[in-house]
Amino acid sequence: MVEKRILLSIQRSLLEKITPNLRCVRLITVNDSENLVFYYDNPPSEEEQELASLADTEFISDFPDSDTGFEIKIIPFPQKIPNEGICVFQRCEANIE
CA distances from 47 to 7, 17, 51, 75, 93 (A): 24, 10, 6, 18, 23
Name the residue among 73, 74, 38 with its Cα closest to residue 56. 38
Q: Tell me what pLDDT residue 69 has.
A: 85
pTM (2 d.p.): 0.91
Q: Tell me what pLDDT residue 94 has.
A: 78
If you classify domain 4-90 with CATH, what class do you get?
alpha beta
Give the residue extent of every domain in the chain.
4-90
Q: pLDDT-based confidence at 97, cuts 50/70/90? A: low
Q: pLDDT tens digits, residue range 17-73?
A: 999 999 999 999 888 888 999 999 999 999 999 999 999 999 999 988 888 889 999
**Half-sphere exposure of residue 71: CA atoms within 13 angstroms, side-chain side:** 12
Q: What's the rounded mean pLDDT across residues 5-26?
A: 95
